[in-house]
Amino acid sequence: MPAESAFTILFDGRPIPAEDGRSVAETLLENGVHTFRRTRNGEPRGPFCNMGICFECRMVIDGHPNSRSCMTPVRPGMRVETQHDSNIEAPDEDR
């Protein structure tokens, strides 16, 4: 891993090592995260198709709910949070 392309993202406030060119989903899976989202009944959900069509891996990314983590490339300092479907909050700019 070349040093200049390695950085960290925040997952639920915790720093996680990331690498340029990878998706959020890939990065979290590499770091042992399996619960990306909780359904309205509280059941855990994570990536299923990993290609943008199943919408199971939706997370709150940089304040935006319902973001597909498998389709979102990581960026330095990105804030990624588990999405709780029972309590989705408005995007930052709409609060």
Q: Which stretches of the chain bind other proteins, using CB under 8 A? A: 40, 55, 64-66, 85, 88-91, 94
Q: How far is the CB of 91 from other proteins (least distance, A)?
A: 5
Q: Are 60 and 80 in contact (CB under 8 A)?
A: yes
Between 7 and 54, CB nearer to other proteins: 54
Distance CA 59, CA 84 (A): 8
Q: How far is the CB of 26 from other proteins (least distance, A)?
A: 22
Query: Which segments within 2-70 are labelled E, that is strand?
Result: 6-11, 14-19, 37-38, 44-45, 58-61, 64-68
* Per-residue tokens: 48: 């299923």
Q: How far is the CB of 90 from other proteins (least distance, A)?
A: 4
Between 22 and 91, CB nearer to other proteins: 91
